[in-house]
Structure 1
């Protein structure tokens, strides 16, 4: 259905007039009450404290009470998708938002939905620190169906709001349901993982990682300063703790590379090496999907195939992650050392049993990963659906541009 046909049916022949935000018959700008308060001086309370992009804090007192749209004055996280917030009840607004509401002939929620499709860039000043001054904001045009017939106008606005709010609620509901399902899957996975890796004394052999490894030690980065530009920019992958944290079992991506000079002062670990972080993000684990170097904030473990596998050891360490994190607490930046792992006694059943456990956990992990990857995709589809209908409902043609979108 075209935008024109959809709107024609909804408008039922009534005219649309364009009024700027400065038109005091339909809009009220309530900036006078805004008051910024430094974080150290805020008194903790139940009132949301709004900044340019979101709620920054909860405080005592309030600056406004009612239904309002908050338009970023400066500091919007995106200029293309400009920050527009909707709020009701008591709240505190700092001086980085304009506070606007509709008067008796305008539905404030309708105003909120429409402002979300406005291109604010032509109204901004200030270059790098883009700012929407009040003088510019009051020039923004807003479409109002048949303003001379308030009852009909408000009915049309309310129907547009109802449809768009329904899509918003469906997206929120779906996000909640999928997030809940994902958390349940993760709990189920962790339960079965811990059950499969729980052994009584005497059932299996308990060994250190050094006893089942071909190689086991910290990565190397001998050169100082470590940020010397000559070390970087070559073809050799240089894995960092963030790459390990962001990977799902196997590291397939990296954000930094070493040059030949970088390689000389480091160590190249082979594909299949288990990487374990010991600083910043403690006990995060992933397996190299390619040969790579890494710094001494990462431990490398190459499994002896006659005794274990990197996959089995990774599951073992992930089941102990909470305990390992506790060992690293107490310093300014959480960290543990190689000795923590050298002294760690872990259960090693037969290779066949290890392989059986890994196969089961791989299946559970695949189910969890599929849901994790599907979650943002499904939410994005719902968001696009909302945006499609929003555009159909709110792309009113201007009188001077019949058939064109404003």
Structure 2
């Protein structure tokens, strides 16, 4: 029967697990009285003290910017108790807004990082608890009284070691993705602009979009559309990441038809950088521009890379109209000018940029897939390692 033991049972090797309220094993600390406006004013890049607010919001400040009594220098678990309820581990000097709280340990038999992983695994429980309020939030008794499993310190340490390693892998992959995307932008900028007149003299030329493409106007009926071929601005992804399936599909009316190799660009809030090169026939609405090539001397993927270039989006934002909900200026977009080398050179450029796109953006291969798989592996082992028998409430 010994071979049938779970991974956790093998770690425990018969040792007992106690269940204790958080308040009995950790020390709860308060934050500092500070407003969002004050955080913004005090923030200095590379300052040594981090002040946490809700969600991903924080400020970096100097030690003298807040009262010394409000600075926590112990490795701690920060409880983000409003809005998006979650837990964060931090092991450098910090403080947080006073509607939040944090915990640290003075008990030599408690590994604070282990308790963090336990609470992180139970975030859905606390989020559900907080969802009963109009503004999702939890109170200190919700965490103080929460029962957590306490195995021997050696087991806590081993669990932390495993989960830290899995977390580090995801972080490394994410850092690699950020670096590769910067390289992608660099090479796209470099490859899509002529550095000398010699390249122009090799058969290339400068063109305006109006000279080589049109806006599609033909209509398609709603009964030809489904969640995979209907594209609204909502299911175009930000930062040039393509599109996802639509949560909404119209049931009547006629819509702008797009075809394979058309380029769809979100025309509301152009700073969101929404663009997709179509691989199918479908329909869209007036919030999305459908750009169709008319020049056979330009490759569709070359034009896509031209319009996915940061230079184009800066141009689009510059000429957009409206304050609260800016829209791209369709006439100005058609005046966008870019370099067009011979077809052979276009193909060479496309082959290089496509490799970068697959590496940095593809969800079926490349780094995004590796990050997703790594995160799932971490969550699987976190659940496996923290599934102690017995009720925690």
Please report how far the alpha carbon of residue 68 of structure 1 lies from its aligned counterpart in structure 2 after TM superposition.
1.5
TM-score (norm 1): 0.70
Please report how far the alpha carbon of residue 239 of structure 1 lies from its aligned counterpart in structure 2 after TM superposition.
4.6
**1:280 alignment partner, one of 265, 269, 285:** 269
Please report how far the alpha carbon of residue 290 of structure 1 lies from its aligned counterpart in structure 2 after TM superposition.
1.8
**1:51 alignment partner, one of 50, 53, 59:** 53
Q: 1:253 to 1:121 in 2, by over 3 A?
A: closer
Q: 1:91 to 1:3 in 2, by over 3 A?
A: farther
Q: SS of the residue aligned with 1:120?
A: helix
Determine the C-alpha separation between the residues in 1 that align with 2:141 and 2:242.
Answer: 54
Counterpart check, 1:200 vs 2:213: no
Determine the C-alpha separation between the residues in 2 that align with 1:137 and 1:244.
Answer: 39
Q: For residues 146-196 of structure 1, what are the alpha-carbon distances to aligned partners after superposition, in whole Å with 9 as ceiling and x for unaligned?
A: xxxxxxx43443333233222222322233234324433443354334359
Q: 1:96 to 1:235 in 2, by over 3 A?
A: farther
Determine the C-alpha separation between the residues in 1 that align with 2:131 and 2:266.
Answer: 44
Determine the C-alpha separation between the residues in 2 that align with 1:334 and 1:393.
Answer: 49
Contact 2:231 2:283 in 1 (8 A): yes
Q: 1:204 to 1:186 in 2, by over 3 A?
A: closer
Determine the C-alpha separation between the residues in 2 that align with 1:206 and 1:123.
Answer: 57
Determine the C-alpha separation between the residues in 2 that align with 1:197 and 1:341.
Answer: 25
Q: Which residue of 1 aligns with 2:351?
A: 363
Counterpart check, 1:390 vs 2:382: yes
Counterpart check, 1:39 vs 2:36: yes
Contact 1:267 1:293 in 2 (8 A): yes
**2:149 alignment partner, one of 137, 143, 154:** 143
Alignment of 1:215-226 (within 5 A): 216-217=214-215
Q: For residues 367-398 of structure 1, what are the alpha-carbon distances to aligned partners after superposition, in whole Å with 9 as ceiling and x for unaligned?
A: 22321223232123223333343344333333
Contact 1:49 1:57 in 2 (8 A): yes
Contact 2:80 2:100 in 1 (8 A): yes
Q: Which residue of 2 aligns with 1:224?
A: none
Determine the C-alpha separation between the residues in 2 that align with 1:252 and 1:161.
Answer: 36
Determine the C-alpha separation between the residues in 2 that align with 1:292 and 1:308.
Answer: 24
Q: 1:291 to 1:384 in 2, by over 3 A?
A: closer
Q: Which residue of 1 aligns with 2:116?
A: 112
**2:369 alignment partner, one of 367, 377, 402:** 377
Q: SS of the residue aligned with 2:75?
A: strand
Please report how far the alpha carbon of residue 112 of structure 1 lies from its aligned counterpart in structure 2 after TM superposition.
1.0
**2:132 alignment partner, one of 127, 130, 149:** 127
Counterpart check, 1:90 vs 2:93: yes
Q: Which residue of 2 aligns with 1:102?
A: 105
Determine the C-alpha separation between the residues in 2 that align with 1:233 and 1:179.
Answer: 39
Alignment of 1:61-76 (within 5 A): 61=66, 63-65=70-72, 66-76=74-84
Counterpart check, 1:162 vs 2:176: no
Contact 2:233 2:288 in 1 (8 A): yes
TM-score (norm 2): 0.72
Q: Which residue of 2 aligns with 1:321?
A: 312
Determine the C-alpha separation between the residues in 2 that align with 1:131 and 1:15.
Answer: 34
Structure 2: unaligned runs, 5 residues or longer: none
Larger Rg belongs to: 1
Determine the C-alpha separation between the residues in 2 that align with 1:134 and 1:16.
Answer: 25
